């Protein structure tokens, strides 16, 4: 019953704020739109807590520099973790897949928010586009959220990490903050059913610029995946299947594109 009530709440709230944000998108600047977006994410987090019964814990914000640009690289298990992370900041830009542009009005909002929109299946074209769109964010010294797996991951599993986050750090010359989380135990991917219980979002110690690409990627993935597994609530599994812990997940489209790129490089 809680899942049903929350899903209705989510659809109605999202529809209301899409219309509200579309109206604000015609106002000069980004302040009105970003303010409405933060209220939306805070309201969604309120619903997750009050309706579903999620005990959402946010840790490690002291690891985020107070000033200057920073890249926040997070584990991504559902839309819920995006709501929680976004609600923690006043003006957060983000990298997202082009799948969101299929929804009415969203393309205009993403443009107004200065979101970095890329091909969801990656590739060199996506990397170049991401770097170009991120230039204005870097020049303004703002925070940028990226999900380095490029896909929602089933709780316990992970996708192959994409190297775009390293290229962004090279361009920004700023710290990357890895983010571990277990919110997928309570809201797994886009599943209808939600679960009560503890969910943790943890901002980890920053990775400073200057590392070799392969070293950086290995360190980023190890920190996020290891800590996310450590934080799992094994006494209250929720959506977690114990057999999924640590497994690699890759959809057919991404696999085909990756194999094609590797064949070209060979």
Residue 198 φ then ψ, to 5° = -75, 140
- Sheet of 54-59, strand order: 54-59, 197-203, 176-181, 70-74, 143-146, 92-97, 116-118
Cβ distance 15 to 40 under 8 Å?
A: no
Range of the domain at 59: 55-265
**How many other C-beta atoms can be found within 10 angstroms of the C-beta atom of residue 183?**
28
Is the C-alpha dihedral spanning 130, 37, 73, 228 positive or negative? negative
Cβ distance 181 to 77 under 8 Å?
A: yes
Cβ distance 84 to 182 under 8 Å?
A: no
pLDDT-derived band at 172, boundaries 50, 70, 90: confident
**Is 24 inside a domain boundary?**
no
Q: What is the pTM of this model?
A: 0.86
Q: What is the pLDDT of residue 143?
A: 86
Query: How much is the mean pLDDT over the chain?
Result: 87
**Is 145 inside a domain boundary?**
yes
HSE-up of residue 94 (Cα within 13 Å, Cβ side): 24
- As a whole-number percent, the residues of the chain with pLDDT over 70 amount to 85
Enter the tokens of residue 107. Answer: 């393309």
- Whole-Å CA distances, 189 to 67, 76, 94, 205: 32, 8, 19, 26
Residue 74 φ then ψ, to 5° = -115, 150
User: Taking 70 as the threshold, does the pLDDT of residue 2 lie above it?
Assistant: yes
Q: Which of 119, 110, 168 is nearest to 142 (CA)?
A: 168
Distance of CA 232 to the CA centre of its chain: 18
The CATH code of the domain that includes 216 is: 3.40.1130
**45/85 Cα distance (integer angstroms):** 10
**126/42 Cα distance (integer angstroms):** 31
Q: Which of 41, 57, 31, 64 is nearest to 204 (CA)?
A: 64
- 215-246 pLDDT, tens digit each: 999 999 999 999 999 999 999 999 999 999 99
**Is 171 inside a domain boundary?**
yes
> Do strands 176-181 and 197-203 pair parallel, antiparallel, or not at all (unpaired)?
antiparallel
- 43-86 pLDDT, tens digit each: 999 999 999 999 999 999 999 988 888 999 999 999 999 999 99
Tally of structural domains, the chain: 1
**Is 252 inside a domain boundary?**
yes
**Is 43 inside a domain boundary?**
no
Please identify which residue in the block is written with the tokens 């991401």: 130
Contacts of 208 (CB under 8 A, 6+ apart): 175
Is the C-alpha dihedral spanning 238, 239, 244, 249 positive or negative? negative
- 112-165 pLDDT, tens digit each: 887 777 765 555 555 666 666 666 666 666 788 999 998 889 999 999 999 889
- Whole-Å CA distances, 127 to 8, 130, 163, 217: 37, 5, 9, 15
């Amino acid at each position: 019953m809680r899942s049903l009530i929350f899903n209705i709440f989510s659809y109605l709230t999202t529809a209301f704020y899409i219309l509200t944000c579309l109206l604000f998108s015609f106002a000069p600047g980004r302040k009105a739109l970003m303010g409405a977006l933060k209220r939306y994410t805070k309201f969604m987090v309120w619903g997750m807590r009050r309706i579903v019964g999620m005990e959402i814990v946010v840790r490690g914000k002291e690891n985020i520099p107070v000033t200057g640009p920073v890249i926040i690289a997070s584990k991504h298990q559902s839309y819920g973790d995006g709501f929680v992370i976004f609600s923690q900041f006043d003006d957060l830009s983000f990298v997202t897949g082009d799948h969101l542009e299929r929804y009415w009005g969203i393309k205009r909002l993403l443009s107004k928010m200065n979101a970095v929109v890329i091909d969801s299946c990656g590739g060199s074209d996506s990397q170049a586009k991401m770097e170009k769109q991120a230039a204005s964010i870097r020049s303004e010294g703002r925070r940028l959220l990226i999900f380095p797996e490029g896909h929602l991951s089933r709780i316990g599993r992970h996708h192959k990490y994409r190297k775009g986050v390293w290229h962004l750090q090279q361009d920004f010359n700023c710290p990357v903050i890895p983010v571990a989380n277990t919110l997928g135990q309570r809201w797994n991917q886009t599943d209808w059913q939600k679960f009560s219980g503890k969910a943790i979002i943890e901002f980890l110690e920053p990775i400073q610029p200057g590392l070799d690409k392969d070293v950086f990627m290995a360190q980023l993935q190890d920190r996020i995946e290891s800590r996310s597994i450590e934080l799992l609530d094994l006494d209250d599994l929720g959506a977690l299947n114990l057999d999924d812990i640590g497994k690699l997940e890759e959809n057919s489209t991404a696999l085909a594109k990756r194999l094609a790129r590797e064949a070209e490089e060979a």
